[in-house]
Chain A
Amino acid sequence: MHAAQHEDRDPAAGDPAAGRTRRAPGSAGAVPGSTGAASGSTGAASGSTGAAPGGGRTGAHGGGTRAEGSRSVFEPAEIGRALTRIAHEILERTSGAGDVILLGIPTRGVPLAHRLAGRMEQVEGHPFPAGSLDITMYRDDLRLRPARALGHTAVPAAGVDGQIVVLVDDVLYSGRTAAAALDALGDIGRPRIVQLAVLVDRGHRELPIRPDYVGKNLPTSQREVVRVLLTEVDGEDVVLLGEGPGASGGDGMTR
């Protein structure tokens, strides 16, 4: 069912090939980063030594949110550049249309949506509505964990009918969050086009979901944990890659 919905919207979301080409520079840019990451992981193999570079950064930012043994794979400046690029891509692919709405998925998709809207406004000179879309009540794994608190849903007053909605999330992993977001969005209205923008695509899709805009493709193993920290929520901008479930426990990770 998700598949069918997604297939419906995909063609409208633009030429997938073009999307991939456009993403290529992004992934090319990721090469030095991932090379660095590779050397980092060599260090990580030797345990506490691997934590040293990350540990230095942790000290610099005073981030208590950081799990031990995780390393930075996406620096603040890179995150900023990736968001600027995505903002331009959204404008390009929607021909600067005035009817674009950015809906972030709580927790960390929401500040990302607002940042993208801000950058798009700088380019186009008029504001773009941004809001949030909580998907908790639509998750397919609700019964696997105790009932969780709901996030906030704030859809711009004009609604989403007939508009282009760009869903924004921090990490794309199994694709289940995005599928749930499509269900949630369907109950709010009927957008003309739905697209998906993510800061990090870590692979391992379990559903036929494909992002339209990607900040960075991050090859990971399923044992690893990707953690996105944002200034608005965590006090700093960084993407961390850690080992194993010991580092888990937050939002924007294994989902």
Chain B
Amino acid sequence: MNRHLISAGELTEQDALLILDTAEELAQMADRPMKKLPTLRGRTVVNLFFEDSTRTRISFEAAAKRLSADVITFTVKGSSVAKGESLKDTALTLEAMGADAVVIRHSASGAPHRLASWVKGSVINAGDGSHEHPTQALLDAFTMRRRLGRLGGLRVAIVGDVLHSRVARSNVLLLSTLGAEVTLVGPPTLLPVAVGAWPCSASYDLDATLPKSDVVMMLRVQQERMNAAYFPSVREYSRRYGLDAARMALLAEHAIVMHPGPMNRGVEIAAEVADSARSTIVEQVANGVSVRMAVLYLLLGGAEAQS
């Protein structure tokens, strides 16, 4: 494993399976009364969040705390960044505090990559711009494997705003490494121009893709995109690419519905779908903690990797 986790594309199949298997063991821990492990005692994990995020930040915080690491959460509001501090100065401050790992969420693609060259500790990308969100892809793969028992040959449809989605990008890279077949579905304006170069196929037709899918992953329609003329109206988007009960009926018996959250009920996913037995949305949150524990353990638990 690398010292950092910046892109899901950097993970070899072996690395990815090691993370998933480790997470599987750690998931057991969630059921026992004593949820804490002493493994990262004395290590410091800094959560550096330049962008709002509730579930990812809390998930990383819970994961680090369950491994007994000290967690420092740094959000932009009210911090020195709001006073105009640069990313590099923030990084140097963290370095001086002795952070063993920095979990960073930033609105600029590539910020974690830049940060990695400035700090000695491990850098974990918790979402950078429209680039990547590797731990989300790992928890999605983990959820699929738990529900469906395998990843190889699994047919996964990722539906919605692929263009701006770091979740879609990381998922395509990780799932292709793990042998799943990904189809990206969305309106032409929301599929990247270079999608032909990605290790997946693309389609504009959701209804044709659904019967051939084992997993449907709905992406969030980001509010800020709605005014940017990527599609005529929210209602039209919802009619063509939203997953409602009628569309869900097209799915195979065993197929599952995923959503990285937070979801817009009634836009990309209907409430009755989100609350159905096929939906793994709540499981994904629980699995997120196990997967992030596995990542923290594998990056910080052993001897410092030579890099």
Contact = CB atoms under 8 A, between A and B. Distances in A.
Interface of A: 134, 137-138, 142-153, 183, 187-188
Interface string B290-304: 000000011111110
Contacts of B301: 137, 142-143, 147
B25 A134 contact: yes
Given A142-B39, A153-B25, A147 B34 contact: no
A146 B298 CA distance: 8
Contacts of B32: 187-188
Contact of B299 (A145, A147, A148, A153): A147
Q: Is the interface of B mostly helix, strand, loop or mixed?
A: loop
A149 B28 CA distance: 15
Given A142-B302, A146-B303, A148-B302, A188 B39 contact: no
Given A142-B39, A188-B32, A149 B18 contact: yes
Nearest to B297: A147
Contacts of B39: 137-138, 142
B22 A149 contact: yes
A187 B302 contact: no
Contacts of B67: 137
B36 interface: yes
Contacts of A147: 1, 297-302
A138 B41 CA distance: 11
Given A146-B305, A183-B38, A153 B28 contact: yes
Contacts of A183: 38
B21 interface: yes
29 contacts: A137-B38, A137-B67, A137-B297, A137-B301, A138-B37, A138-B38, A142-B39, A143-B303, A144-B303, A145-B303, A146-B302, A146-B303, A147-B1, A147-B298, A147-B300, A147-B301, A147-B302, A148-B302, A149-B18, A149-B21, A149-B22, A150-B21, A150-B25, A150-B26, A152-B25, A187-B34, A187-B36, A187-B37, A188-B34
A134 B34 CA distance: 15
B274 to A, nearest CB: 33
A92 to B, nearest CB: 32
Interface in B1-26: 1, 18, 21-22, 25-26
Given A145-B303, A147-B1, 9 more contacts: A137-B39, A137-B301, A142-B301, A145-B302, A146-B1, A147-B300, A150-B26, A183-B38, A187-B36
Most buried by B among A143, A145, A150: A150
Nearest to B22: A150
A147 B26 CA distance: 14
Nearest to A139: B39
Nearest to B42: A143
Contacts of A142: 39, 301-302
A124 to B, nearest CB: 29
Interface string B82-106: 0000000000000000000000000
Contacts of A151: 25
A210 B40 CA distance: 28
Most buried by A among B18, B300, B301: B301
Nearest to B68: A137
B272 to A, nearest CB: 35
Contacts of B38: 137-138, 183
A136 B1 CA distance: 18
A214 B210 CA distance: 61
Contact of A137 (B1, B21, B37): B37
A151 B298 CA distance: 14
A197 to B, nearest CB: 24
Contacts of B21: 149-150
B269 to A, nearest CB: 35
Contacts of B305: 146
A150 B19 CA distance: 10
B196 to A, nearest CB: 37
A155 to B, nearest CB: 8
Nearest 5 Cβ contacts at the A-B interface:
A147-B302, A146-B302, A147-B301, A150-B25, A187-B34
A153 B187 CA distance: 47
B54 to A, nearest CB: 28
A151 B21 CA distance: 10
